[in-house]
Amino acid sequence: MQKGKRIIIELKDIVKKYYLGKPNELEILHGIDLQVEKGEFVSIVGESGSGKSTLMNIIGALDKPDSGIYNLDGINICNTKEKKLSGIRNQKIGFVFQTYNLVARTSAIANVELPMLYNGIPKAERHRRAEELLELVGMKDRMLHKPEELSGGQKQRVAIARAMANDPGLLLADEPTGALDSASGRNIMDIFHHFNKERGKTVLLITHSKELAYETGRIVTLFDGRITDIRRNMAAC
């Protein structure tokens, strides 16, 4: 870590277990320690079953660890009640999933406006910002289309615009190109690079693809619920 940089994600000795009925207890994460600086582009790499999605759920405040400390932008997530966590997720984190999670039978622009609606932003401002974001990801000409009328790559671009609706500092992407062809996947990665380099967003990419990981500034390898390697990728800097 560079001196003077602000830490946005700080995980200390994170343990996560799932209870299948005593005494059957399955520990998924075995003491994770990780820090991510503001403005970094970091990938977490691992095979299926390595604990990537479980770790993302904790980083995204969708779940809490059984033990350990997690500070997100200075907030102790482990001690925060669910109502406040909901606001933190809406305002501080943008989520992008492999399955897009768009609202069916609702236009692209309405999907992008949704997080701002929950955040109490006036209608005119919601519409203006949603249109601006859709233009940024190359989807302004499809803003009235519903998800069923869009290709996979187009859906993911709408999902990224929606993730950035409330201008969060952190963008979490879980296998965002996993369901896409190579050309669409390339477009999605270019958009992530734009938000990271041009807008200073912290991007955390969860992936099984080493090829995608090599595009990020730091690569964290997860194996069997443990971090086995963290290396800075000078070629991506």
Rounded CA separation 153/10 (Å)? 32
190's tokens: 């270019």
SS3 215: coil
Longest dimension (CA), the chain: 56
List, for the chain, all residue ranges whose pLDDT scores fall below the cut of 70: 1-4, 20-23, 237
Q: Is the pTM of this model over 0.75?
A: yes
Q: How far is CA 158 from CA 99, 145, 209, 215, 233, in A?
A: 12, 10, 23, 22, 29
Q: Are 161 and 133 in contact (CB under 8 A)?
A: yes
- Over residues 115-162, the pLDDT tens digits come to 999 999 999 999 999 999 999 999 999 999 999 999 999 999 999 999
- Give me 163's structure tokens: 């993730």
Please check whether residue 222 is in contact with residue 210, taking contact to mean a CB–CB distance below 8 angstroms: no
